[in-house]
Structure 1
Amino acid sequence: MGFGGDLKYSHDALLKLQDWELRLLETVKKFMVMRVKSDKEYASTLQNLCNQVDKESACQLDYISNVSKSWLLVVQQTEQLSKIMKTHAEDLNSGPLHRLTMMIKDKQQVKKSFVGVHQQIEAEMYKVTKTELEKLKSSYRQLIKEVNSAKEKYKEAVAKGKIDLILCIYLFPFHTAIKSSYRQLIKEVNSAKEKYKEAVAKGDY
């Protein structure tokens, strides 16, 4: 399969895992949003019910009895339950639900970065394994052609007895360069001698 193939399948597997986790988190978030909404509505309904009962009971309770005490206790506990449900809904909304929303955003950003880095790596790999390799192959083929051409010319020169002439032609530029460098060196030495003589004559040395 090869290293590149293994990377491809690993990348696909990681993407599937990230997608699955994001879908699960979105499902949990949806459930929590509905839970907050239903708890708030339930708390509001209980509170409205208690308010309605208080209005109706105010004019009906002419005296205190065990029944009236029990009824008042039921109303009080219902009102207390309404407050508890409302508090729990607010805590759920500001706590776990908020953190879950931030977690989903972070995971989405991580996935985006992961995909971007993978695409960059793939582009670099393609450049190295395809583009650069093709350039090297092309350069290699060109060099092979030049070498073969030089061999053919050399064989032809040997066959015609012109090898000495070819060597002279190739060595002539180097010989000329050496002579030029030698002349320049002689000039610099003579110039140094003249400057030395002038310094001695002036008493500076």
Structure 2
Amino acid sequence: MGFGRDLTNSHEGLLKLQDWEIKLLETVKRFMTLRVKSDKEYAALLLSITQQTEKQEAADYVSTVSKSWSQVIHQTEALGRIMKGHADDLNSGPLHRLATLIRDKQQVKKSYQSLHQQLESHNYKVTKSELEKLKTTYRQLSRDANNAKEKYREALAKGLWLPRYTCFMFT
């Protein structure tokens, strides 16, 4: 199935994925920040144009053209207000939540690295330190068993000790 092989570089893969996600979210944040800024500037320009045009409008003649022009000015002013409102909403809503998400992702990455370090330390302790202790104990017990076997053979050779029941023979 390849499950074990897939996990060989999982830590590095997870770190790369987390870095990539954070970098992408920061790119989205920069884009949205620039979008808010440009939308606000555009809205301000639209409102400025409409204010300047309204000052220059002469209401001396009322015609279809002047009514159409007045409608264009009012629609442009409405568009400016809508753009400003949407930019403010984008800035206070999604952009704020995006900044929070980036901080949370960074905190998750930091926590993951800390936990991974703890697990690596524990794994090293279990696999290296405790294993070395067990190997040392095994070697000592092996030496003790070999010494006991030698003493047994010497006792047998001298005829000093003969067990009644021998369950197994040392070879």
After TM superposition, where is structure 1 displaced by more than 6 Å over at least 4 residues in a row?
A: none
TM-score normalized by structure 1? 0.68
1:74: Cα distance to partner?
1.6
Q: Secondary structure at the match of 2:132?
A: helix
User: Which residue of structure 1 aligns with residue 67 of structure 2?
Assistant: 69
1:66: Cα distance to partner?
2.4
Q: Secondary structure at the match of 1:22?
A: helix
The letter of the residue matching 1:65 is: S
* 124-133 vs 143-152, greater mean Cα deviation: 143-152
1:121: Cα distance to partner?
1.6
Correspondences of 1:106-185 after superposition (within 5 Å)? 106-156=104-154
User: Which residue of structure 2 aligns with residue 93 of structure 1?
Assistant: 91
1: CA distance, partners of 2:158 / 2:78: 117
Count of residues paired in the alignment: 161
2: CA distance, partners of 1:141 / 1:32: 67
* 41-50 vs 105-114, greater mean Cα deviation: 105-114
1: CA distance, partners of 2:129 / 2:108: 30
* Greater relative CO, 1 or 2 (CA 8 Å, sep 6+): 2
Q: Secondary structure at the match of 1:151?
A: helix
1: CA distance, partners of 2:66 / 2:142: 110
Unaligned runs of 5+ in 1: 164-205
1: CA distance, partners of 2:127 / 2:14: 24
Cα offsets for 1:55-81 (capped at 9, x unmatched): 222xx4423222322222221111111
The letter of the residue matching 2:49 is: L
Correspondences of 1:22-33 after superposition (within 5 Å)? 22-33=22-33
The letter of the residue matching 1:10 is: S
User: Which residue of structure 1 aligns with residue 165 of structure 2?
Assistant: none
User: Which residue of structure 2 aligns with residue 40 of structure 1?
Assistant: 40
* 66-75 vs 125-134, greater mean Cα deviation: 66-75
1:11: Cα distance to partner?
2.2
Higher-Rg structure is 1
2: CA distance, partners of 1:134 / 1:79: 80
Cα offsets for 1:71-107 (capped at 9, x unmatched): 2222111111110000000111111112222222222
1:44: Cα distance to partner?
0.8
Sort the Cα spacing of 1:34 and 1:116 in 2 relative to 1 into closer, same or farther, 3 A. Answer: same
Unaligned runs of 5+ in 2: 162-171
CA RMSD of aligned residues (A): 2.5
1:54 aligns with 2:54: yes
Cα offsets for 1:25-81 (capped at 9, x unmatched): 111111111110100011111111112222222xx4423222322222221111111
User: Which residue of structure 1 aligns with residue 102 of structure 2?
Assistant: 104
1: CA distance, partners of 2:151 / 2:9: 54
The letter of the residue matching 1:29 is: K
Identity %: 62
